[in-house]
Amino acid sequence: MIISAHNVAKGPLRATSLEASTGEVTLVPVEGGQRPTLLALILAGRMTPAAGEVTIDGAADPRILRRRVAVVDAPDTSAPVDDLSLATVVTEEFVFSGLRGPRRATRRLLADEDLSDFASTPIGDIPAAARIRVLTRTAAAPPEVEALVLTTPDRHGGDTSDWLETARAWAARRYAVIVLASAGAIAAART
């Protein structure tokens, strides 16, 4: 699968172009404010750009993008409220994705991630690396999802290598992974 954005722009988001492919991590510097969230929503077919277009395998079809592209932890849209417990956030994500047995799946995911002891901890208090791992995994749960847009993982602090490791792990699982982050974080990830 190939996702291409050709000079997409909306509001404060200036014309941006990128191409992301299955099995690869695409790092895109996007500076502050609403820009990263706007770009994430446009890439996932959830918002129409004022200019440019997004295609998936050559087709400009927002319905296909909405099914196949998941937005991970975008401020003001898909990011969970910081005071919700980790278990509640994971369960809600599984419910929204239509997964059967969301509570059991939550217990399994937390055990797999060695986070069972943090089930009742507010997600805002979860270490940045664990937060990104868990939210990426829940976003990838629907079987039709083939692309993940990690939205400003650097805003949570922690080491750049942590979210980059998560992105690479999902790319190795044959997902197209797009990371929208600050130019400084992208530069650190490339070194």
Q: Where are the domains of the chain?
A: 2-190
157: Cβ contacts below 8 Å, ≥ 6 apart:
128
* Residue whose C-alpha is closest to residue 74's, from 98, 44, 96: 44
So what's the pLDDT on residue 124?
95
| CATH number for the domain running over 2-190 | 3.40.50.300
Query: At which residue do the structure tokens 């600050």 appear?
Result: 182
Could you tell me the two tokens for 100? 């059967």
Q: What is the pTM of this model?
A: 0.95
So what's the pLDDT on residue 98?
85
* Residue whose C-alpha is closest to residue 43's, from 96, 4, 97: 4
So what's the pLDDT on residue 97?
86
Torsion of CA 158, 181, 175, 39, to 10 degrees: 140
Three-state SS string over the chain comes to CEEEEEEEEECCEEEEEEEEECCCEEEEECCCCCHHHHHHHHHCCCCCCCEEEEEECCECCHHHHHHHEEEECCCCCCCCCCCCEHHHHHHHHHHHCCCCCHHHHHHHHHHHCCCHHHCCCEHHHCCHHHHHHHHHHHHCCCCCCCEEEEECHHHHCCCHHHHHHHHHHHHHCCCEEEEEECHHHHHHHHC
Question: Mean pLDDT for each 10-residue chunk of the chain (191 residues)?
Answer: 97 97 97 93 98 97 97 93 96 90 94 96 96 96 96 92 95 98 91 77
